[in-house]
Structure 1
Amino acid sequence: MKSKLLAVAMCGVASSAAIAGPIEYSLNSSAAAVQQYAPLFQKELDRSRSFVDQMMEAGVVVPIPKDPGGGYTHEQHKQNFKIIYQGGQLYKLTGEQKYADYVRDILLAYADLYPTLGEHPARKNSQSSGRIFWQVLNDAMWMVDSIQGYEAIRDSLSEADRKNIDDNVFRKAAAFLSTGSAVTFNKIHNHATWATAGVGMTGYVLGDKELVDVALLGLDKSGKTGFLRQSELLFSPDGYYTEGPYYQRFALKPFIVFAGAIEKNDPSRKIFEHRNGILLKALRTTIQLTYDGYFFPFNDAIRDKSLKTDELYHGVAVAYSKTRDPGLLSIAQWQGRTVLTDDGMMVANDLAAGKASPFSFQSLLLSDGPEGKQGAVAIMRKGDGMTGQALVAKNSSQGMGHGHFDKLSWQYYDNGYEIVSDYGAARFLNIEAKQGGRYLPENESWAKQSIAHNSLVVDEKSHFNGDRRAADKLAPEQLYFTNEMGSQISTAKMTGAYPGVEFTRTLALLDVEGLGQPLVADIMRVDAEGDYAYDLPLHYNGHIMRVGFDVKSNVAGRPVLGESNGYQHIWVDGTGKPTSADNGFVTWIKDDRFYTARWVPQVGSETILAESGANDPDFNLRREQMLVQRVTSGKDIVFASILEAHGRYDGAAERTTASDSQVKTIQHVRHGGADLLLIETLAGAKSVLAISYDQDKNKKHTAAIDGQTISWTGFAAHLRLGGE
């Protein structure tokens, strides 16, 4: 069975390697070595050549594994699989023998080392140990890149070297990743995606059908696990990956790379047509799950990950080669990168030919779960995907072990920034000083807890009492969504996060007469069987300019808000009791724009101004601001609020305009089963967000507010009221 991985190889960039004794490698020139390509592809080729040439000066460095993530041996082995991959592609493109020789020598060093390895000394008891790395996931990542580099040079090797590397590196590694790590290999999880991809591609390269079959169908070949089943269970019909955008980006590489190998070696499977083209759909969805190029930080997300990542360089190239979507060229242009493959060359050529057009960032509803019945993510946008507005309602499922307890939470982006924020993961990835680059203890005690998110908290306990297994069983119900420009609305309901409490949240992105920017409306309706205490936090980015109510500030010492469930990490800066929406507001500035959060206070409620970072002796948490609406006792209540962007501060000209809110007041009325939110501007314009909660889209509804009778049809509407 002749392997055909070459056309789907991936590219990466590594940090500098450790220095060892130099080894001289001969140069065999060829016509390909001096060929000039389209600028983006040539830039990629030059980058890889510079990197690998530098590493060749250091010689072959294959240390005995010892360190956790971020440590010397961990980083060196990461460096090595990038060298193996890129060196193989350089040999393929240039014909220069020195690259094949260098890759060969590294792999021969691994052939000596790998058979001697047992469990990694820095393994963590809660995770499956690797051999080269501290966790088996990283071994699988090593395999995915290394097998592609090896495939590129394998035919140039002597029979003895080829057999040595086949048997002592890749066959042994494939056995370890499959039968030797059966628990991981048979999961429906991104770790298994990487493992099955590495094993399956190794099977194609070595001509081993058994390895290909177990990769595709699971160890028992039943199809209940394995790569194909993962593509069916981990993505929704809309291409949303259940662990969230960060892990969707991470899992995309093995899905796309292995799919490319399957297509080349077994085209009859029509892998890119599998499940209605789910892999290409997932690539587009991955891009949609970004703002200014950065992924929405749901669940255990590292916040600095963007579309400028190895997985997306190749994903964009593959998707473009299949679809010829010119919008993908604009993404590649923004990335400034491509891959050293035929697909990457096509992207570079067409980009140079001027075929790019802007990618269409859209307002859309992305269902969650394999059948699309486990909640959803609602994205409401105005303007472009880089600096316009994006309101994101996270009404999705738990997200397995990487999920957070934040049902019906939300984020807001504007002017190029995240304004209403999500913490993401408490982790400093591959920084050894911080728990070896692993997740920090505060990921459990803070980042996953409900109070760390923009969601309802009942009796100071997290959703599902912080029990992931319980959370996996239930998901929100998306009741309504419309992406009509000017009146974009999402409503979802959560039942079961707390015994006896059901909460329903409507988030809307509305154009309001006289306001320069769209306004966010938020109606959180709580229906309970008894009295409970409620907290509704709002995590925001910016510096406070004005607080509408009197605040009792803790200037000498800050108390801690609570003892557990994340409350132990909250410093209380001050408290106050706004009496109405006229003074229930806080205004802050982010960059050159002002923002005002305004709400209708509940009777007897208080507002807490706070900051994360308490009980953090190792300085693991970021210090971030929040305000919390607190109701100490209530049954059926509604939290009604808005977020308004306004004005501008020009630091260069020392000029400020509209630094105060342009909204006069808001008012909430419950009329029968409907909720009405009146918004009145300083200029006198009035509009109402009306929610009937009635699924009959043809049913007419009437209600009274502000002395006027309004009517609308269907679930929800945004209505303009006549002025005085």
Structure 2
Amino acid sequence: MSKLRVHLFAGLAALALAGAAQAAAPAKPTPVASAQVPPLFAATLAKSKAFVDPQLRKTIDVPVPADAGGGYTHERHKDNYRLIYEAGMLYRQTGDKAYADLVRRVLLDYAKLYPSLPLHPKRANQVAGRLFWQVLNDSVWLVNSIQGYEAVMDAIPAADRATIEAGVFRPMAAFLSTGSAKTFDSIHNHGTWALAAVGMTGYAIGDEGLVKQALYGLDGSGKSGFYKQLQELFSPDGYYAEGPYYQRYALSPFLLLAQSIQRHDPSRKILDYRDGVLRKAVYATLQESYGGLLFPINDAIKDKGIDTPELVHGVAVTYAATKDPALLSIAIQQGSVVLSPEGREVAAAIARGEAKPFPFASIKLRDGAKGDKGALVVLRSGPKPKDQALVFKATSQGMGHGHFDKLSWMFYDAGQEVVTDYGSARFLNVEAKAGGRYLPENDSWAQQTVAHNTLVVDEKSQFGGDTDTGEAHWPTLLAFEAKDGVQMTAASIDEAWPGVRYRRAMALIDRKEVGRPIVLDLVRAEGAGKHRFDLPLHYDGQIVDSGLKVQGGISELKPLGKADGYQHLWDRGRAPVKDGARVSWFDRGRFYDYVFASGDVDQVVLTELGANDPNYNLRNERAFILRGDDRDSFTVAGVLEPHGAYSAAEEYARDTIASVKAVERVSENGADLVLIRLNSGKTLAIGVSWDADPTKQHRVTTSAGAYAWSGFSGLAEPAQ
């Protein structure tokens, strides 16, 4: 049994950051003999040289911006900031002035181009940049380029430095700050990138005014800026309001600006600010992953993982301060380090054999600046990479990138996502797909409630699909506990639909009676008047057995509904049910059985994604929906059991029969008892009282006798 809460490691050393902004002279390059370079650092160095060296004596194209994401000019300017950055880092590592000269030449060309640039011609519904279609990318360009420039300043003649700063860095900093004031002062990852770019530029070129803007906002009041972002965007546990995908992305500017402050303004201790919230954020992001990939919560690209450059940098900075050997195992997974002293330190420690396994564990990550806006809960069956993980999303809305998915869940097993979340509808940097932007289907499908594994009432998304309304309400976490082989979490929300109270309890159970971890899901909803209740379960795989008598969906397909995401679901058939049913599917060598008990479910609806999608923007994924019509309440108790193994190569199928035979739910005085009947003849009884008092005794009577337990939940025993 894993511990319920990971201990977020003490440590990031005090990064002293205070005093007046002034351009400190960069340290001289410190070339190291190749025999002294640790292997992982040497590999990163070689990879960087392979990118930069062929361009050392070429004329680098600095084109007039014309294309959206994925187009030539977009990708060229991205390559150029990478070139500036990596050439600068190579100069620091080797002392070869050819790298510094490359940075000088490219930046002089930008100094000629930039002052006359208008807003980007392919700007859309985002705030426009000049080099790129959205201002965010301009900020990223400056964050990278100012690092490369600062690394080579000592090797660039004063006259050229003056030209570069006057032609590129000062006007770009002005454009990103006063010229894009709404973005710069926003409490949002776009604002983080902008203020990091401006603040790092201020430190590099010795402009105290730019630094003040970055730290305290444009008006200097502290109502925006770096400190305010640290206060508002992270919870006390390091959870980032927009979710792990954007947490990964935003960590980079937060940490880079903190490093810049460390070098130039000692004594501010930014990484100790708010009890080391940035350190906690790095660990929290790593915990929000499975099999190397981040949980695809909110607007997330599903193949983004812990090997992204932002987390490579975050791990290096955090290790340099904490010396936590568990971070070294993450760096090994990442397969690279940054070209910096911190990166070299990580590589050296790995070479000395100091890496320890990272303690992936069950954890509650509170949401909200004060930790009072729900939580993301991860329940793990163990610390190994292929151990099961249940993710329960009881967080706040997550601003504009948030989805209407309160009390949804995902499940991972054997190294793969089993109960799935769609993530976002976007093909990042694929120009043919809306220039790499978010697609219309992100709004019409991916953000809608039915796209997630949570309750839908009257085929309407939570909060009417309105982000501002969603921001004003969040779930209440009711439980996060573990005892007797049962890890339990639960939450409730009363505002997702008018007049409807929605509660959900979920448990990861690892008991010898079953012999393998299983998931318990208990859903309760009560509403004034009659409603249609839908409970979707999105899965990867192929149904192999259900016992359902499915009708329709063979000779003709029709959309399941007209709005709120239903218009994108093909109705693949419906099966009437009474009191419960079983659905079994097979996926990548494993079998999954979902057994549920409910007198409120009238039918199981099979669906496939892809209706009303003329541009083929959606993946053809599958789900089944437990539907109850004309109900004033809706309760379901379900159990998911992973089991077995299959190999086509070796032609075997093992352990294909589930251990769970049936599920029964009995309620009394507001408490629920779930009886999990096993094929062995044994019964596992789990009680859920919905009462947080840990000492209170609860009792539910069944036809076979009474069961009792204490506290919110527990293993129920026959009452004496």
TM range (shorter): over 0.9
Q: Distance in 2 between matches of 1:4 and 1:38?
A: 29
Q: TM-score, normalised by structure 2?
A: 0.95
> Who is 1:199 aligned against?
198
CA contact (8 A) 1:516 1:646 kept: no
Matching residue of 1:115: 115
**Which residue pairs with 1:476 in the alignment?**
475
Partner of residue 37, structure 1? 37
Distance (whole Å) between structure 2 residues aligned to residue 431 and residue 170 of structure 1: 29
- Paired amino acid for 1:80: N
Mapped to 2, the partners of 1:141 and 1:598 lie a distance apart of 48
Please give the residue correspondences for 1:331-350 in structure 2 after superposition, counting only pairs within 5 Å: 331-350=330-349
Q: Which residue of 2 aligns with 1:417?
A: 416
- Equivalent positions of 1:98-497 (< 5 A) are 98-124=98-124, 126-384=125-383, 386-484=385-483, 486-497=485-496
Check if 1:692 corresponds to 2:694.
no
Give 1:548 deviation, angstroms: 1.9
- Quote the residue 1:80 is aligned against: 80
5 Å-filtered alignment, 1:535-554, equals: 535-554=534-553
Q: Deviations over 1:282-332 (max 9, x none)?
A: 000000000001000010000010011110111000100111111000000
Determine the C-alpha separation between the residues in 2 that align with 1:331 and 1:414.
20
8 A contact 1:541–1:590 mirrored in 2: yes
Output the CA distance in 2 between the equivalents of 1:502 and 1:44.
54
% identical aligned pairs: 49
Distance 1:326 1:528 in 2: 51
* SS of residue matched to 2:56: helix
Q: Is residue 635 of structure 1 aligned with residue 641 of structure 2? A: no
Normalising by structure 1, what TM-score? 0.94
Which of 38-47 and 599-608 deviates more?
599-608
Alignment match, 1:20: none
Asked if 2 retains the 8 angstrom alpha-carbon contact of 1:686 and 1:720, the reply is no
* Counterpart Cα distance in 2 of 1:454 and 1:712: 29
- CA distance in 1 between counterparts of 2:675 and 2:389 reads 22
Q: Separation in 2 of the partners of 1:279 and 1:422?
A: 27
Note the alpha carbon deviations across 1:524-576, whole angstroms, 9 max, x for none.
10011221111100000111111122111421111210011100000111110
Residue equivalent to 2:13: none
Rounded Cα–Cα distance in structure 2 between residues aligned with 1:143 and 1:136: 11
Tell me the secondary structure at the aligned position of residue 184 of structure 1.
helix
- Could you give the per-residue CA deviations for residues 324-345 of structure 1, whole angstroms, max 9, x where no partner exists? 1110000001111111111111
Contact 2:666 2:700 in 1 (8 A): no
State how 1:43-82 maps to structure 2 within 5 Å.
43-56=43-56, 58-82=58-82
1:196-245 per-position Cα deviation (integer Å, ceiling 9, x unaligned): 00000100011111100110000011111001110110000000000001
* 2:109 alignment partner AA: A
User: Partners in 1 of 2:55 and 2:611 — Cα distance?
Assistant: 45
Q: Secondary structure at the match of 2:54?
A: helix
Q: 1:608 aligns with which of 605, 609, 632?
A: 605
Using a 3 Å threshold, how does the CA distance of structure 1 residues 68 and 623 change in structure 2: closer, same or farther? Answer: same
Q: Deviations over 1:115-158 (max 9, x none)?
A: 0111100001x221001000000000001110000001112111
Equivalent pair of 2:600/2:631 in contact (CA under 8 Å) = no
**Contact 1:390 1:412 survives alignment (8 Å):** yes
Partner of 2:659: 662
Query: CA–CA distance in 1 between the matches of 2:707 and 2:105?
Result: 78
Secondary structure at 1:644 match in 2: strand
User: What amino acid sits opposite 2:268 in the alignment?
Assistant: R
Q: Whole-Å Cα distance in 1 between the matches of residues 213 and 464 of structure 2?
A: 38
Query: In terms of mean alpha carbon deviation, does 267-276 or 644-653 score higher?
Result: 644-653
Q: Equivalents in 2 of 1:566, 1:699: separation in Å?
A: 43
Q: Secondary structure at the match of 1:387?
A: coil
Tell me which amino acid in the other structure corresponds to 1:133.
F
Structure 1 residue 61: Cα displacement: 1.1
Change in Cα spacing, 1:31 to 1:391, as seen in structure 2 (3 Å) is closer
> Equivalent residue of 2:612, what SS?
coil
Taking the aligned partners of 2:505 and 2:533, their CA distance within structure 1 comes to 18
- Residue 368 of structure 2 contacts residue 374 of structure 2 at CA under 8 Å; is this kept in 1? yes
Q: Does 1:701 align with 2:698?
A: yes
Indicate if the aligned counterparts of 1:244 and 1:399 stay in contact, CA closer than 8 A: yes
Mapped contact 1:456–1:536 kept (Cα < 8 A): yes
CA contact (8 A) 1:33 1:93 kept: no
Superposition CA RMSD, Å = 1.7
Contact 1:406 1:449 in 2 (8 A): yes
Give the SS at the match of 2:179.
Answer: helix
The unaligned stretches of length 5 or more in structure 2 are 1-20
Structure 1 CA distance for aligned equivalents of residues 190 and 401 of structure 2: 12
Q: Counterpart of 1:506? A: 505
Q: Mean Cα displacement is larger for which, 80-89 or 600-609?
A: 600-609
* Whole-angstrom distance in 2 between the partners of 1:556 and 1:529: 39
Change (3 A) 1:147 1:652: same
| Alpha-carbon distance, 1:4 to partner | 5.3
Q: Distance in 1 between matches of 2:368 and 2:47?
A: 40
Q: Which structure's relative contact order is higher, taking Cα pairs within 8 Å and 6+ residues apart?
A: 2
Contact 1:464 1:498 in 2 (8 A): yes
Equivalent residue letter for 1:712: W
Cα distance in 2 for residues equivalent to 1:30 and 1:521: 57
The number of aligned residues is 699
- Relative to structure 2, which stretch is displaced further, 571-580 or 673-682? 571-580
Q: Which letter does structure 1 place at the counterpart of 2:657?
A: D
Q: 1:77 Cα deviation (Å)?
A: 0.3
Alpha carbons 1:32, 1:95 under 8 Å: kept:
no
SS in 1 for 2:716: strand
Q: Compute the displacement of 1:58 (Å).
A: 4.5
Q: Distance in 2 between matches of 1:703 and 1:566?
A: 39
Contact 1:460 1:565 in 2 (8 A): yes
SS of 1:529's equivalent in the other structure is strand
For residues 613-645 of structure 1, what are the alpha-carbon distances to aligned partners after superposition, in whole Å with 9 as ceiling and x for unaligned? 101010000000100011111112211111111
**Structure 1 position 416, deviation (Å):** 0.5
